[in-house]
Amino acid sequence: MEKYQIKIEITEIMGSGKCPEGHTVGEVFNYPEDLGKLCPTAIHVLYPSIKVLRSGGSFSWYEDTDGDGIPDCDYSCCPDHKQPVVFKVTRKEI
């Protein structure tokens, strides 16, 4: 049984502001339930962050969003060099 729920949110689309896969700022996905709704390249980039957060690890340079003193999010962007999509990956204890 999983200890954490993972949420992936699109926070910014740089460059032209348009994702070629049709993603938009503000979209939210739950991992793994919405896996098929995300661009495969984005999932490839996000997967290491997801694994760290699901296993209880953290990224000390980011904020603590639930007040327990442990940072529980990470930011990553897809490798599209013209209009990178920025994703915020957050965990919440179940």
Q: Quote the CA–CA distance of 31 and 82 in Å, as a whole number.
A: 26
Which pLDDT does position 42 carry in this prediction?
A: 95
Please write the tens of the pLDDT for every residue from 60-81: 888 777 777 788 999 999 999 9
| Closest to 5 in 3D by CA, of 33, 27, 45 | 33
Q: Quote the CA–CA distance of 44 and 65 in Å, as a whole number.
A: 24
Please write the tens of the pLDDT for every residue from 29-59: 999 999 999 999 999 999 999 999 999 898 8
What's the structural domain count of the chain?
Answer: 1
Please, which residues have CB within 8 angstroms of residue 86's CB and are 6 or more apart in sequence? Answer: 10, 11, 12, 13, 14, 75, 76, 77
The residue range of the domain holding 35 is 4-93
